[in-house]
Every structure is written in C-alpha cells, then in structure tokens.
Chain A
Amino acid sequence: MTTVELIIAFLILAGALFMLIGALGIVRFPDVLSRMHAAGMATTVGISAILLGAGFFFRDEFLFYRMLVLILLLFATSPISTTALTRAVYNNEPILRRQLKHDEMAVTVLDESMLDESKISETKVDESANGATSANPARMPTPT
C-alpha cells in the first residue's frame, strides 16, 4: 500500500465514520435542534471527506477539481437549509423552546409569538367579550 492509498483509505473511512456517528447522533439526541447538529456534521465532514478521497482515488486532474467544486457548493448551500430548518423549528415549537436552558432569543424576537402561543385562548375570550373593536390586528391568532 502506497502513501496515496493510505491517505485515500483514511479519508473515505473517516468520512464513513463521521456519517455513522451523525446517524447515531440523530437517533440518540433528544430533540430536533440537537439532531440538527448531528445531521449537519454528517453532511459537512462526512461527505466532503468521502468526496476528497474519491478525488484522489481516480487520479484524474479534472475529476479532482470537480470534487473540490462539489465540496465548495456543499459548503455554500448546506448551512442555508440547516439555518432555515432550525429557525422554522424554533418559531413553531414552543414546547421545545421552553426546554432550552439558556435562550437569549426569547426575550427580544419572540415576544409577540410567545404571547400568541400562550394567549390564543384568552384573546378569543377577549374578542367575544369586548367585540371586534378591541381586537388588535397584530395579535389576531391566524387560522391555520
């Protein structure tokens, strides 16, 4: 086994190992937010290590550059979906939000949505009691 083969084997095995650990993390971690970390790790480290190993393996200059471009595209696109998913989960799962030990986002951004979540029943009572005049359009619970 030459050095190049050793490097290739190391890269592909390391990538596979990281993807395995990522899958294990998705099973073991308790909630969506923490699972997102495991999934993100599997894509960034696992796939790019395997792609790099494949690039060395085929001994083709253009294939190697293509792998580099693939890694670049992966690095440019995967965080966007991760961020979008995380934000969607955060905004729509009030129970999950309360499980966080430390949450500096709750104080500022989520004031309104927290109010909406906890006071949907109350606002409904308010509306029926005081009529439509008291209903604040910003606070109206949207029908889903």
Chain B
Amino acid sequence: MIARNVFYVNLLLAVLWAALQADLSVTTVGIGFVFGFLLLSVIHRGYGAAMLGAVGYILFLVQAIILSSVQVARYVISPRLRLDQGIVAIPLTARTDLEIAILASSITLTPGTISVDVGRDAAGQRVLYVHNLVMGDADEVRKTIKQDFERRILRVTRGGATA
C-alpha cells in the first residue's frame, strides 16, 4: 500500500508540471504524469512494476471482456441453448477490501461470470461465489480466475510478493 502514496505524489508532480506550462490541458497533465512516473520509478523500488502491472491488468481486463462477450454472444445466437449454469466457490488469497472489491467487480464485468457473494466455507476460508453462465469443470473455472484475475491484482496491490 506504499505504492498508493507514491501514486499521489505522482499525481502532484503531474499537476505541478501542468501548472508550469503555458496551457493547462489533459495532454499537459498526462505528459507531466509520465515524467513523474519515470522519476518515481527510479527513486522508489517497486513503484514502476506496480504501475506497469496496473496498466497491464486494465489491458488484460479489456481483452477478457471482449473475448468473453463474443463467447456469450455466440451462446445467445446459437439455435439451441446449451446453458450449464452453476455457482463456484473460489478460495480467496486476496485479503483487503480493496483487493476483493476489484476482483469481484472484474469478474462481474466479464460477461459470462457474475460474482454473487463473499462468504466463508466450512474451513473458515474466505471464498467468493461466482455464478457461471456456461460452467464446464468447476476446478477449471477456479484455476482460471485465480491465475488470470487474482494473481494480477495481487501483483499490483502487493508489489509482486505473492505467487
């Protein structure tokens, strides 16, 4: 969470850069942000990796949304509906509210999966319940979400310390 404070400093540097320019526009603030990012990623260990991870995560999320919406569109227009709905419990490595909120929102944004609830399973482990439109194998779903979504989010919020 230190990366968040550094991010605020980065925003401050961007505004400072824009204030020293002749014109104030989104482009100047953006250029200031990029310069501030370069500076801070040299100064602060792990900040560069976390920010690149965040950008990478957004790109990955957009790609996942596009791919799976095409998939859901194919389910909709296929002559015979082959739905296989089910709810899968995903054990969470994410701990903080922010991590879980980002994970649940990302899963809901991706068509074909909706996060329903956060709870605890019989062993007391925190789990996220995800409703799938076409499920297939439950373990497969669990593995995909943990590896694709959760790992990337944790890499950003914890600076790549977790597997």
Contacts and interface: CB of A to CB of B under 8 A. Distances in A.
A45 B65 contact: yes
Contacts of A44: 65, 69, 109, 111
Contacts, number: 119
Given A25-B72, A100-B87, A102-B87, A109 B105 contact: no
A61 B25 contact: yes
A34 B135 contact: no
Interface in A30-86: 30, 33-34, 36-38, 40-41, 44-45, 61-62, 65, 75-76, 78-80, 82-83, 86
Contact of B111 (A45, A83, A108): A45
B84 to A, nearest CB: 6
A37 B135 CA distance: 13
Interface stretch (B4-12, B36-44, B75-83, B152-160): B75-83
A105 B87 contact: yes
Given A103-B87, A104-B88, A25 B76 contact: yes
Contacts of B87: 90, 100, 102-106
Interface residues of B, number: 40
A80 B105 contact: yes
Interface in A14-39: 18, 21-22, 24-25, 28-30, 33-34, 36-38
B85 A104 contact: no
A99 B65 CA distance: 27
Contacts of B115: 79, 83
B119 interface: yes
Contacts of A99: 85
Interface residues of A, number: 41
A119 interface: no
B145 interface: no
A124 interface: no
Contact of B69 (A24, A41, A87, A108): A41
A109 B81 CA distance: 30
A83 B128 CA distance: 12
A53 to B, nearest CB: 15
A7 B136 CA distance: 36
24 contacts: A21-B77, A24-B77, A29-B83, A30-B81, A33-B131, A34-B133, A36-B114, A37-B133, A40-B108, A41-B69, A41-B72, A41-B73, A44-B65, A45-B65, A61-B27, A65-B26, A79-B105, A86-B114, A86-B116, A100-B85, A103-B87, A105-B87, A108-B120, A109-B117
Given A45-B65, A100-B86, 5 more contacts: A21-B77, A22-B76, A38-B76, A41-B112, A105-B117
